Structure 1
Amino acid sequence: MIEIEDLNIRYGNFIAIDNLNLNVEKYSSCAIIGPSGCGKTTLLYAVAGILKPSSGLIKINGEKIKGNRKSTGIILQNYGLLPWKTVWDNVALGLKIRKANRETINKKVTNILKKLDLEDLKDKYPVQLSGGQRQRVAIARTLTIEPDLLLMDEPFSSLDAISRESLQDLLLRLYKENKMTMVIVTHNIEEAVFLGHKIVIMAKREGKIKKVIENPYFGDEEFRNRVDFYKICREVRNLMEKDET
């Protein structure tokens, strides 16, 4: 699905990504974790087509990306909801931009609001919603376009622990129901281990990948309750702590 070859991204003399290589298989999930300033968000934005590489190659489904891609959905940390639009209109936005007809918009928005338990909130504005509700609206808006690639940048970072785990569970269920590839950037170790089939640990200052861990338990909704979950969390934590010493 995603092929990254010898990727370099520079801001003047600052090296954000340094000769990075990574493959993410189709219909898999990749969690990218690392300390602040390691380049993980820069990498995600490059895959999204928002940032242009200084050199190197990014291909999605065998095609070199040339800017924003219609089948790529993006969920950002601040949700990206328009405050002057209702929940319904925010969810419908991606379809309207893609010139979908009214019947298609009504059908898809109605279905996704029902699936994410947002029907009763459809006439409310973002300011009237909790953080978890706003995040569900952002997820709903993205899923209406039926993306084959879903990119997320710290999507649950502002939520409390219980809301965070609830939305992680929801995201995993949606992943299973919809054929798509997921890439999530996070600074939370437990989130990376729960949502990543492939866990990419980035080095602190070098803009490089330190290690990639394959998680054979990805997709198990009870994974958090198993000893292996904490073993992998400890492995990730140990690798990240070595950067701090």
Structure 2
Amino acid sequence: MEILLDNVTKTFALNNNNGESFKVLDHISFVVKENEFVCLLGPSGCGKSTLLRMVAGLEKADSGVISVDGQEVQGPHPDRPMVFQDYALFPWLTVEKNIAFGLETKGIDPQKQRDEVERCLQLVGLKGFEKAYPHELSGGMKQRVGIARVLALKPRILLMDEPFAALDAFTRMKLQDELITLWRQNRFTVIFVTHDVEEAVYLADRIVVMSCRPGKVKSIVPVPLQRPRRRTEFTFLQIRNLVLKQYTTYDPPVEYAI
């Protein structure tokens, strides 16, 4: 599914009695092609998560248009689920019940629910943890449950809001590889929010670099690297260096120089 953002602007009111407001996003325009993996990269506070929530239909733009395959986004839809940084699991439900939650709300037949949960457990490597509760899982396993829950809906678009930011470096890299495998197998369209330059270069087909306050598209950087990618190869480092120059207002540190 192709996603179009055309001159999207968003302003929030301040919590005071003066009627003041601040602009979060300022005339954002870009296109995400069908089956493309796009990263939104920018500093904290630049409106990345707000923009993702608007694509999901959880927030409304003040002006401009967001459309999917030519249809304007009017609200949430099962084809546009989100994976959150904080896992957003129900602590009183088991792994299998968390994964089945969206299917149950859609009224899917119980046997089909069980079959789909089984499929998704296999996909994310959680077979054998069906009866576990979230508090019994590591951070990486919790995020796998969150990913499995949206995969169970068989979405055509996957929206991910810094899903690996709270994880240790080893787990983060492992889940990055697993995500790319799932994306290549299922060929959904992905918008992935991050503030990690290396993560963006490792994952994305293109990187939308955003500036801060108000958030604007500073540049769009293609990543023409074959997968699997190696973080130490020369071309990877060149692209990382280029993105760093776009991402910051100063030259990158010496260790990033190419």
TM-score per shorter chain, which class? over 0.9
Q: Distance in 2 between matches of 1:107 and 1:232?
A: 42
Q: Distance in 2 between matches of 1:244 and 1:50?
A: 37
Q: What's the offset of the Cα at 1:115?
A: 2.2
Task: Please give the per-residue CA displacement for 1:42-67, whole angstroms capped at 9, x wherever unaligned.
Answer: 11011010001101100001100110
Equivalent residue for 1:86?
94
Q: Distance in 2 between matches of 1:205 and 1:16?
A: 6
Q: Distance in 2 between matches of 1:40 and 1:141?
A: 23
Report the residue type matching 1:25 in the other structure.
Answer: K
- TM-score, normalised to structure 2, is 0.91
Q: Distance in 2 between matches of 1:70 and 1:136?
A: 19
Q: % of aligned pairs identical? A: 36
Q: Structure 2 residue aligned with 1:231, among 233, 238, 242?
A: 238
Q: Does 1:159 align with 2:167?
A: yes
Equivalent residue for 2:16?
none
Unaligned runs of 5+ in 2: 14-20, 253-258
In the TM superposition, what are the counterparts of 1:138-153 in structure 2 within 5 Å? 138-153=146-161
Q: What's the offset of the Cα at 1:223?
A: 3.2
Report the residue type matching 2:10 in the other structure.
Answer: I
Q: What's the offset of the Cα at 1:243?
A: 6.8
- TM-score, normalised to structure 1, is 0.96
Q: Larger C-alpha radius of gyration, 1 or 2?
A: 2
Unaligned runs of 5+ in 1: none
Structure 1 runs, 4 residues or longer, greater than 3 Å off: none
Task: Please give the per-residue CA displacement for 1:193-221, whole angstroms capped at 9, x wherever unaligned.
Answer: 1111110100122310100001111x511
Equivalent residue for 2:181?
173
Q: Count residues with an aligned counterpart.
A: 244
Contact in 1 for aligned 2:202/2:229 (Cα 8 Å): no
Report the residue type matching 1:90 in the other structure.
Answer: N
Q: What's the offset of the Cα at 1:71?
A: 1.0
Root-mean-square deviation (Å): 1.4
The 3-state SS of whatever aligns with 1:223 is: coil
Q: What's the offset of the Cα at 1:165?
A: 0.4
Could you tell which deviates more after superposition, 150-159 or 96-105? 96-105
Equivalent residue for 1:11?
12
In the TM superposition, what are the counterparts of 1:29-40 in structure 2 within 5 Å? 29-40=37-48
Q: Does 1:241 align with 2:242?
A: no
Contact in 1 for aligned 2:158/2:189 (Cα 8 Å): yes
